Amino acid sequence: MVKKRSVFDINFELDDEEDAAGFPAGNDKPAPPVVKEYNIQGHPLQNSDPVVSPAPSAAATSTPAPAPARRGPMASAISETLEATSERATAEAAIRAENDALAHEHVRLKRLGLITDLIQTSDVHTNKLTRDRSANVDPELAELKQSIQSVGLSNPIRVEQTDNGYELIQGFRRLTAFRELAAETGDPRYSRIPAALVPRGEPLADLYRKMVDENLVRKDLSFGEMARLALSYAQDSGIDVSDAVGTLYASALKQKKTYIRQFARVLADLDGALRHPEVIPRALGLDVYRYLDANAGHAMALKKALIRQPDRDGDAELAILRAGITAKKTAPKPAGRSSAKTSLRLGLPQGEMRVIASDGKVEMRLPRDFSAVSKARLQRGIEAFLAALDKEG
């Protein structure tokens, strides 16, 4: 085995004579640069470019240039590892900062309802809000389905994410169109629908307003549908129907809100007997409102006429309403009113009640604030009172 010889750097000092062979003392011409080469076998800088050292000064002409410090392979490996670790830590920190920024931006957009995703139509429920669209046959739905098949859905629905899926906020017709297309074509593309996510926990009034304002812009929502939505919102929120109309349709004109309140009164007086309120024209609805407002007993008669035809369609319902108000208009007027009066006093837990009844008028006086009773409860009480008077026995 041949033993490898160690090679060392050896610096030789010049003799005085050789040193003096340079430029004479006092000569201003600078000494030529000293070129130092490291071609010694095993030297760290072997085969590198020559190192050019500046000319030695007059004060240190005899001091040789120090050789570069040597570094072993272990030290080089440790240095390289530290540099790589530092670079990786810097890159990871930059990635984490970017991810945090993207996450914050995602949350911000989600709160604004600007995040859109494809969701399963089977995961969308319509239980939270009463829809302002009628569940009856929509003649324009076929046109919407054809448009979706041709150019796709340009306006996504809006949903609120829940523990069991999603609650629909806007887009009842669009959701219905996708579900029908999936059933008719079997195309899996229609089993998922583009949806914008609204933040959780938004106030109920705001959710209703989102739905209402979208359909008001479309200008094809009937007064019957708007009135039915106002009644449902009033019931859900525990407020008066008139206040519900003012809240939901705040952006509507004053006259339009008046019509909605009058239609709501018609729906409330007929107590769910109307099955197709969306087909009632404005003129007929206002005539029915005036007819019912003229006499509290008219509502019961019109309701009975509607109930006698349980399988009626929209046209049949309109015919019943027109016939009911027309018959009352053409009915002969009584020759005269009776002047007789009936008075009685009742001892009730709330106090003594005095009742005066005459032709076309019943007056009841009781130490109680009836204005604190909601219109809906007051209406039900009056209807029950009149029904009890008409009951035989």
Which among 308, 329, 350 is the end of a domain?
Answer: 329
Q: Are residues 284 and 382 in the same domain?
A: no
pLDDT tens track for 245-281: 888 787 778 888 899 999 999 998 988 889 888 889 9
Q: Per the domain annotation, does 151 fall within a domain?
A: yes
Q: Per the domain annotation, does 34 fall within a domain?
A: no
pLDDT tens track for 34-61: 544 545 455 555 555 554 555 555 554 5
Q: Per the domain annotation, does 77 fall within a domain?
A: no
Domain hosting 112: range is 94-203
Q: Are residues 110 and 191 in the same domain?
A: yes
Tell me the range of 274-288, 348-362, 364-378 where mean pLDDT is highest.
Answer: 274-288
| pLDDT confidence tier of residue 132, bands split at 50, 70 and 90 | very low
Which among 170, 203, 236 is the end of a domain?
Answer: 203
- The reported pTM is 0.42
Closest CA to 306 of 332, 278, 271: 271
Can you give the CATH number for the domain in which 115 is found?
Answer: 3.90.1530.10
Is residue 358 within 8 A of residue 374, CB to CB? The reply is: no
pLDDT tens track for 198-221: 777 667 777 676 666 655 545 567
CA distance 334 to 336: 5
Rounding to the nearest 10 degrees, give the CA dihedral for residues 269, 274, 278, 282.
-50
Q: Per the domain annotation, does 36 fall within a domain?
A: no
| Continuous H helices in 241-281 | 241-248, 254-269
pLDDT tens track for 304-355: 889 888 888 888 999 999 998 886 555 455 555 566 788 888 888 778 888 8
Q: Per the domain annotation, does 281 fall within a domain?
A: yes
Is residue 361 within 8 A of residue 227, CB to CB? The reply is: no
CA distance 23 to 389: 141
SS3 content of the chain, % helix, strand, coil (to 5): 50, 15, 35
* pLDDT on residue 68: 60
Number of domains observed in the structure of the chain = 3
Q: Are residues 106 and 189 in the same domain?
A: yes
Q: Per the domain annotation, does 40 fall within a domain?
A: no
